[in-house]
Structure 1
Amino acid sequence: MLDADVILTNIETLKVLIAKDFTVVSPMLMSDGVYSNFWCGMTENYYYKRTDDYKPILNRKKTGCFDVPMVHSAVLISMRYDVSDKLTYYPSKITNYDGPEDDIIAFALNSKALGEHVIFQCNRYLCSQIKNRSLIKICLSTGIPLYICNEAIYGFVPVPLEDNDPLEKDYEQMLNIKLEAISQGTPLPLNHMLEEYVTHPNKWKFGCDEIYMINLERRQERRFLMELSFKELGMSVQHFSAIDGRNLDMNDLREYSITLMPNYEDPYHKRPMKAGEVGCFLSHYYIWQDIVKNHHRVALLLEDDIHFVPYFRHRFIQLMDEITQSLSALLYIIYNMFYFRYIGRKILLDGEEEYATPHTTRPLYSYWTLGYLISERGAKKLLRADPLSKMLPVDEFLPIMFDQHPK
């Protein structure tokens, strides 16, 4: 049984679930945030209760099939066992039902009651038939636990609308699901006969002078997925072909006027700089040069493995307004660079960061360059430091430049 807004992307879903031979089983569906199609806890009044078991299953830190108190939206029921005939979504058909008038709660409570009843009958019957192992197996398998399985990415489901939500919010929820599916490498298929009914927003630069996307030529799949996301978001992006570390001779970098910083060691692995890190730095460096050359007031740099969070368009535009208005009001007339926490930043120093505006902080020692906003002034400062003459990874260079590197 599938709700109309469930989107299964794994073509093996039905085959896999049938093979598990459970009476009731659901494929775990992904969404934005922490919503899914199962519960790990239920209150005394039979409503949703968050437990410590939920997130490890949702985030697939623990994988397998788990006995949970509730599954919904995508449910496979085996008709091989007689007890499945007693399953129902109707509270009126359940003896001594004391729960709310809710179909999925009724189904869950009924399943639990049937399971307890069947196991009791089996235990009493098995007292005289204990030697018959096949009877034991049948009795134990006819209880009705509800299983959620997450060994694979099976599909997606949007967060349900509230009663007073406008239909426009449903479109945004659907966009969130499409972007989540793309980030998982499983973009939602669109039947060619329906393409004429699907529209995409006009492309623009989201208030930036330029948006760059860094991508290695040999990673065409990443570029394809990123371009799908840009199409869904209406984002006009310039593709930048990254410098491939495989093509660099680490023993002779004079062609690029590079001198590696003497005695540099990676803080985690205690190794020298790798060719891929050199290529990554050069890619960012050449974009900084392009920003200065073209006098871009502000530019957004994106690497090709970012994950666009729910409501990215709205959050980005609101943040652009905030940093323009609030920072000007605080006399920080010109900013140099902004990391985007919700695109990707790894904070390496513990401690509270000082807030500059309601949604921006002054960063402490941070890694990753998945997505950041940079002004022409900021790009000039980075280039003036002459980083090619004492190169180290760009993750380390940036916190040195905003004076938060521990060394």
Structure 2
Amino acid sequence: MNIVPIYLINLDRSVDRLRFVTRRMDTLGLDHTRIAAVEGARLSGGERAAFVAARPRDGKRGWRDGQIGCFLSHLDAWRRIAAGPDAYGLVLEDDIHLSDATPAALADTAWIPPDADIVRLESTGQWLALGPPVSQAAGRPVRRIRSAAWGAGAYLLSRQAAARLAASDPLLQTPADDFLFNLAGSAIARSLTTYQVVPALAVQDKFNAEDHAIEGFGSDIETDTVNQRLRGLSALRRRITSALRGKTAVEFA
């Protein structure tokens, strides 16, 4: 039984995704609250214009409809965690694969570092600069993240950090994973203390390295090059470069 509340972001039209992740959470004995995701493409012209005007981005970094919907959906989750009674909440996107060890990690919060604003549970195939282990989640080391990361498919968020995110200046707000984890480009990310569980407890379908387990959900936000970044010669070069820079592979298991 999870004592950490789970908030699952899911579009109304994505019935197959909801069925997939609900079946998995039922198998693991995990309760959750569904958040009806915002579909950016269905915002009115006025709503979209107001959103972008409050959060200006230049050139190719302009807001795509999927990014707008994703951000507003995560914002809903942050507000719920901030307003709730629990010290932490888990935010999940609906294409997530969960490890068998997930229930053990969510059965208590004693392992969460006391200064943690965020604990990332997911792998995206990215190598990260990590500090030494400070605790263990279901037997897995928990390490401070020292480099930029991408992906916002599965992360624990403290109630205090959720309140800060929800109340943040819109001028600082960028697409959800960039806003939370891009240390180079996000002042908010630099202000947060973020940890990573290694090996990861979760992976989004589009980042899953286990071909037999992929559901083929793809992404409403990313382009079709996501899986190409994880495979082939360019991916090998990236792994070698990351290892030489002292980064650690964060894999799903």
Q: Answer yes or no: same fold by TM over 0.5.
A: yes
Instruction: State the alpha-carbon separation in 2 of the partners of residues 344 and 311 from structure 1.
Output: 15
What residue ranges of structure 2 are gaps of 5+ in the alignment?
Answer: 193-253
1:73-152 to 2 correspondences below 5 Å: none
Query: In structure 2, what residue type is equivalent to 1:397?
Result: F
Aligned to 2:68: 278
Larger radius of gyration: 1
1:207 equivalent in alignment to 2:28: no
Which deviations, in whole Å up to 9, do the C-alpha atoms of 1:172-213 show, x marking residues without a partner? Answer: xxxxxxxxxxxxxxxxxxxxxxxxxxxxxxxx4x121x2110
C-alpha RMSD of matched pairs (Å):
2.7
Structure 1 contact 301–372 (Cα < 8 Å) conserved: yes
Match of 2:55 among 260, 264, 271: 260
Higher relative contact order (CA 8 A, sep 6+): 2
Which deviations, in whole Å up to 9, do the C-alpha atoms of 1:350-373 show, x marking residues without a partner? Answer: x44443335111112111111000
Instruction: State the alpha-carbon separation in 1 of the partners of residues 52 and 79 from structure 2.
Output: 15
Instruction: State the alpha-carbon separation in 2 of the partners of residues 243 and 344 from structure 1.
Output: 24
Query: In structure 1, what residue type is equivalent to 2:152?
Result: T
Structure 1 contact 346–367 (Cα < 8 Å) conserved: no
1:355 equivalent in alignment to 2:133: yes
Q: Which has the higher strand share?
A: 2
1:337 equivalent in alignment to 2:118: yes
Instruction: State the alpha-carbon separation in 2 of the partners of residues 265 and 348 from structure 1.
Output: 25
Instruction: State the alpha-carbon separation in 1 of the partners of residues 131 and 59 from structure 2.
Output: 28
Aligned to 1:403: 190
Instruction: State the alpha-carbon separation in 1 of the partners of residues 95 and 45 from structure 2.
Output: 25
Instruction: State the alpha-carbon separation in 2 of the partners of residues 249 and 346 from structure 1.
Output: 36
Change (3 A) 1:348 1:285: farther
1:4-403 to 2 correspondences below 5 Å: 204=1, 206-208=2-4, 210-249=5-44, 252-253=47-48, 259-263=54-58, 265-266=60-61, 272-317=62-107, 320-323=109-112, 327=113, 333-340=114-121, 343-345=122-124, 347=126, 351-358=129-136, 359-363=141-145, 364-387=147-170, 389-399=171-181, 400=186, 401-403=188-190
Structure 1 contact 339–345 (Cα < 8 Å) conserved: no
Change (3 A) 1:316 1:236: closer
Query: In structure 2, what residue type is equivalent to 1:335?
Result: A
Query: In structure 2, what residue type is equivalent to 1:321?
Result: A
Which deviations, in whole Å up to 9, do the C-alpha atoms of 1:42-97 show, x marking residues without a partner? Answer: xxxxxxxxxxxxxxxxxxxxxxxxxxxxxxxxxxxxxxxxxxxxxxxxxxxxxxxx
State the SS of the aligned residue for 2:57. coil
Structure 2 contact 130–143 (Cα < 8 Å) conserved: no
Structure 2 contact 29–103 (Cα < 8 Å) conserved: no
Q: Aligned-pair distance for 1:402?
A: 3.0
What residue ranges of structure 1 are gaps of 5+ in the alignment?
Answer: 1-203, 267-271, 328-332
Instruction: State the alpha-carbon separation in 2 of the partners of residues 315 and 294 from structure 1.
Output: 20
TM-score of the two chains, using structure 2 as the length reference: 0.63
Query: In structure 1, what residue type is equivalent to 2:142?
Result: T
Structure 1 contact 346–366 (Cα < 8 Å) conserved: no
Change (3 A) 1:361 1:261: farther
Structure 1 contact 212–300 (Cα < 8 Å) conserved: yes
Instruction: State the alpha-carbon separation in 1 of the partners of residues 130 and 26 from structure 2.
Output: 37
